[in-house]
Amino acid sequence: MRLFLPRQLSIFAKIYDLQSVSLAADALGLTQSAASKSLLALEDQLGTRLFARSPRGTIPTAAGKVLRRRVRFIQRELELAEDEMASELNMSGSTITIGAGPSWAAKLLPPMIIELHKAFPQVQIEMVSGSGDYLMPYVEDGVLDMYFGVLPDSVQFSNYTVKPVQNFNVAIYARNSHDIFQRGGNPLDTMHNYPWMGFAHDGELLRRIEEYCERNNRPYRPFEMRIMSFVALMSIGRETEHIVFATDILEDELSASDFTRIGADEEIYAFESAVAVRTSMLDLEPVTRLITMAQAKPGR
């Protein structure tokens, strides 16, 4: 059984994705006239323009972008309805799309996904890694079913439920041979003399680090490198004078790669990490199993 979008919405979505009425018509096996009439009827029904026509193509308006986002949710819900009816809630043969913050992707999620695959071998997993500001639009657009690494109060979308899973601390590291350890005194007092590096697109993290520096009368400098890959972060840190900001959940991996924490007894920034999950999937056994593992997993 296949569940389909209403015809007008299917044509609209194809025009949006291809940014062309003619290309959308070809893809759907329609005449250009039929696709144009369908779009005009939908715009008339909604009382607003969904696209602006220009020499660059069919450009979505603000209303068009909103509608496409909602249609993505409808499409995903139809897919989930098919999967549930076919597999009695165990999602056999279906896919879970997961977003993961760098710490989750580097350490916490891989063993959980291995366990999940053993329990549900027919469920396919697609995972993309990135920091909060980078992946949040994918949550808003309904592209991700789950996103591990959000702050509990950062998701305000009605289609998602947020569940706290882990507590993290942000710490500061440098390679063992770094010049900062050779000068004596408290390395935290001189870390502003070196370039800083951390995970990309996380505005809340940067704000908290700035607050920490102000609170402790230490100069603040913005990150000169923002990286979304933990492997890249370590590789660059080993070859340069960059000071590395990372969650202490990764300390074992950093220590194994010859990094030492700066100011071991000083807390920089503690926060609660959560998972945003598509609300309609909360009753599905593979999803609840993954959330339970995330909540029970020890921090280190």
223 with 206: CB under 8 angstroms?
yes
Q: What residue segments make up the domains of the chain, in order of their start?
A: 7-66, 74-166+272-296, 168-269
Question: What is the assigned CATH class of domain 168-269?
Answer: alpha beta
Q: What is the DSSP letter of 179?
A: G
pLDDT of the residue at 183 = 82
174 with 238: CB under 8 angstroms?
no
Domain 74-166+272-296 has CATH 3.50.30.30: no
102 CB-side CA count, 13 A: 24
pLDDT of the residue at 78 = 75
The residue among 62, 66, 60, 70 whose CA lies nearest residue 39 is 60
Same topology for domains 7-66 and 74-166+272-296, yes or no?
A: no
Task: Give pLDDT tens digits along the chain (300 positions).
Answer: 566 778 888 899 899 999 899 999 998 888 989 889 999 999 998 999 999 987 777 899 999 998 988 888 887 777 767 766 665 555 566 889 999 999 999 999 999 999 999 999 988 899 999 887 788 888 888 889 999 988 887 777 778 999 999 988 999 999 999 999 988 788 999 999 999 999 866 677 788 899 999 999 999 999 999 888 899 999 999 999 999 999 999 999 999 999 999 987 777 888 889 999 999 888 888 999 999 999 986 544
3-state secondary structure at position 101: coil
pLDDT of the residue at 298 = 58
154 with 225: CB under 8 angstroms?
no
Q: Which residues contact 98 (CB under 8 A, 6 or more apart)?
A: 109, 125, 126, 127, 128, 144, 145, 146, 147, 148
Topology at the third CATH level for domain 7-66? Arc Repressor Mutant, subunit A (1.10.10)
Tally of CB atoms within 10 A around 164: 14
Q: Which residues contact 248 (CB under 8 A, 6 or more apart)?
A: 168, 169, 170, 171, 261, 300
Q: Which amino acid is at 230?
A: F
pLDDT of the residue at 300 = 47
Give the separation between CA 225 and CA 236, rounded to whole angstroms.
9
3-state secondary structure at position 172: strand
Q: What is the DSSP letter of 288?
A: H
Distances (CA, A) of 149 to 101, 163, 275, 294: 5, 11, 6, 11
